[in-house]
Amino acid sequence: MPQEAWSKKRERQYEHVKESELDRGRSERRAEEIAAATVNKTRREKGETRDA
């Protein structure tokens, strides 16, 4: 699910968050949603998006 706009660092972050959520018992789909939202939130906070 990692997006093309994400850097390699953000892709690693996505995978890490996804694995953590799976370990906590979340479904695959929910873990992916949480991981993507987390990465996008971080990118927005760090000014890595167009609309920072």
Q: Which residues contact 2 (CB under 8 A, 6 or more apart)?
A: 10, 11, 14, 15
Average pLDDT over residues 4-18: 93
Cα 6-11-14 angle, rounded to 5 deg:
115
- pLDDT tens-digit readout, 21-49: 999 999 999 999 999 999 999 999 999 88
Query: What pTM value is reported for the model?
Result: 0.86
pLDDT at 5: 82
Domain ranges of the chain: 8-44
